[in-house]
Amino acid sequence: MTDLVAIASEGLTARINPFGAELSSLTDTAGREYMTDADPAFWSGRAPVLFPIVGALAEDTLRLDGQAYAMPKHGFARRSGFALVDQASDRAVFRLEDSAEARASYPFAFALDMAFAITGMTLSMVATVRNTGDAALPFSFGFHPAFAWPLPGGAEKSAHRVVFEHDEPQPIRQLEKNSGLMRPDGLQTPVRSRELALDPELFRADALIWTELHSRRLSYGAEGGAWLDLAFPDTPMLGLWQVPGARYICIEPWQGHSDPLGYTGDFRDKPGIVVLPAGGSRSFRMDVAVRPV
């Protein structure tokens, strides 16, 4: 088992797995855990990094310039070892660079840094993608943290809700069950007056997806229990997901999403793709501020 890297402030401790640069634990000074219990009966993931795609591609195939490359759902970063390139008591940076294995499915030169830092009761995560090659670099990126549901503090699971920064009246999108591709039809939003009351039944058909999110902040929690305040200024899309009945809720800021059903075009032209010029970079930030009971 890979040793976890711990960073801490006076209020929080985060533990990160270099395999996938995955946040595995976030606890306060009382030892209360704010991340998933990763029960394998439901889902053993914790906070996978989604790169160079978010979601699924049609037939798990990345199409570029008439060539086809095998690409698993959510990409390969979550199943890759990252190098620890910087560490202090309150911060750590992990790096994934292209390799012969990566180029077999993604024929580009790149570096992906995952930086974690804690100040007070806030954990900041910043992903930076750099184009280290001569050709333009197309990609998507997403965060996929699974937070405890219920959160510590004694509030009932049924009392938990997500409160958005702004009204979100637009229809939500969902995935086709078998393929994981984006359905063309939208569904009426379950958000009411900026609030989404969480219920496992919401996720019977898979994730709830906002492809044009107005908010860049939200809060998750329940009266009488802890709250998490999330900020994601660089990602215009959001997924919420769980396996119904599990003890977590995934709150996932995204830049990009699954292929639309029927999409057969080039990867570069897919909705949500970022294209970096040679030498360019793009960063995506997610902050998690803990408000314990």
Domain ranges of the chain: 5-291
CATH topology of domain 5-291: Beta-galactosidase; Chain A, domain 5 (2.70.98)
Give the whole-angstrom CA distance, residue 25 versus residue 212: 30
For 100, the enclosing helix (H) or strand (E) is helix 100-103
Q: How far is CA 178 from the centre of its chain?
A: 21
pLDDT band at 269 (very low <50, low <70, confident <90, very high): very high
**What pLDDT shows up at residue 178?**
87
pLDDT digit string (tens) for 72-89?
A: 999 999 999 999 999 999
Average pLDDT, integer, range 13-20: 98
User: In degrees, to the nearest 5, what angle opens at C-alpha 105 toward C-alphas 102 and 109?
Assistant: 50
Average pLDDT, integer, range 194-209: 96
pLDDT band at 1 (very low <50, low <70, confident <90, very high): low
pLDDT digit string (tens) for 135-157?
A: 999 999 999 999 999 999 989 99
DSSP 8-state symbol, 179: T
Average pLDDT, integer, range 270-279: 96
